[in-house]
Amino acid sequence: MNVTTIDSPVGPVSISVNGDGAVTSVLFGEPAVPATPSESSDAAAAQLREYFAGQRTAFDLHLAPSGTDFQHRVWAALREIPYGRTESYGEVAVRIGSPTASRAVGLANGRNPIAIVVPCHRVIGASGMLTGYAGGLERKRWLLDHERDEQPTLT
């Protein structure tokens, strides 16, 4: 496993890449293991830096998150939410063909190991309110404001 950590406006972001060069996680904070960058993790880091600089709206990375079939369906649906847009948990549930599974979608969303690249921050409550986010609601708000070009600030 190769790990690279970048500084970002929302704090350190750690990127883990497996031996095949696929991204297995993008997590907020410092890695639990010492950083050992590789060409693949450096490429992912470059794309994340471009995202934070407002120069990238989509990612072109090979991903290999660990999860159940249902989680993979949810995470694939998250990648279809356009930059700068949001969807509710219920809307994602309908899109994956499980209209009564909004709670399960919320659980899968919360277990997404590849933050930002698999944009779980773009999922909001049915009322339009920001709801739980593994990285914290302040980060979620910052990411959404960033994508809406609203000069975000992290409080």
Q: Show which residues are catalytic.
A: 120
Q: Which pairing describes strands 13-17 and 23-28: parallel, antiparallel, or unpaired?
A: antiparallel
How many angstroms from the chain centroid is the CA of residue 150? Answer: 19
CA-to-CA distance for 109 and 64, rounded, in angstroms? 16
Q: What is the Cα Rg of the chain in Å?
A: 15
Question: Which DSSP symbol is given to 120?
Answer: G
Specify whether the CB–CB gap between 142 and 152 falls below 8 A. yes
Q: Is the dihedral of CA 52, 53, 58, 61 positive or negative?
A: negative
Question: Which DSSP symbol is given to 83?
Answer: T
CA-to-CA distance for 99 and 119, rounded, in angstroms? 20
